[in-house]
Amino acid sequence: MESIIRVESNFNPRAVSRKGARGLMQLMPETARRLGVRNVFDTRENIEAGVRHLRYLSARFSGDVRLALAAYNAGEGPVKRHLGIPPYAETQAYVTRVLELSGWLEARPLGWAPEAVAEFVPDSRRVYRPWAVDTALRYVDVPAPLHPARH
């Protein structure tokens, strides 16, 4: 989630884009309304809504994190119309940058297509970033141990 926030708002909770997206996760007003966000500039509310939206997009695109990210940036319609990441320079750069920042591209070739890469806890009220890196992008509702076992 940190990589999305960095690319979306550079950690500015009061950020507003040219197109009207707001807050850390740059939620569009309609998306925020649909997700029940009362104060889009409230850090916790914004991140929780952004995670719920990303969870929905991940399920919508069969766990393909690249398509979920493309839809987060450009919307579901363009991803469905183009049957993949739309040929928009901004969206292609966005997906690449988020995956680079998260370390996703370092271990995988560009053509790698995961079968199920996103796993979320349904209806989670609190979201923590992962402390272990594996083949899944994982957000859970329990905090990681203070000192995870080192492998």
HEC per residue, the chain: CHHHHHHHHCCCCCCECCCCCECCCCECHHHHHHCCCCCCCCHHHHHHHHHHHHHHHHHHCCCCHHHHHHHHHHCHHHHHHCCCCCCCHHHHHHHHHHHHHHCCCCCCCCCCCCCCCEEECCCCCCCECCCCCCCCEEEECCCCCCCCCCC
Question: Phi and psi for 55 in degrees, rounded to 5?
Answer: -60, -45
State pLDDT tens for residues 121-136. Answer: 333 344 444 444 444 4
Nearest to 39 by CA among 20, 15, 22: 22
What pLDDT band is residue 117 in, cutting at 50, 70 and 90?
Answer: very low
Residue 43 has pLDDT above 80, yes or no: yes
Residue 148 has pLDDT above 50, yes or no: no
Annotated catalytic residue: which of 2, 8, 76, 115?
8
What is the reported pLDDT for 80?
94
What pLDDT band is residue 143 in, cutting at 50, 70 and 90?
Answer: very low
What pLDDT band is residue 137 in, cutting at 50, 70 and 90?
Answer: very low
The reply to whether 30 belongs to the active site is: no
* β-pair partners for 140: 128
> What is d(CA 14, CA 39) in angstroms, rounded to the nearest whole number?
11
What pLDDT band is residue 106 in, cutting at 50, 70 and 90?
Answer: low
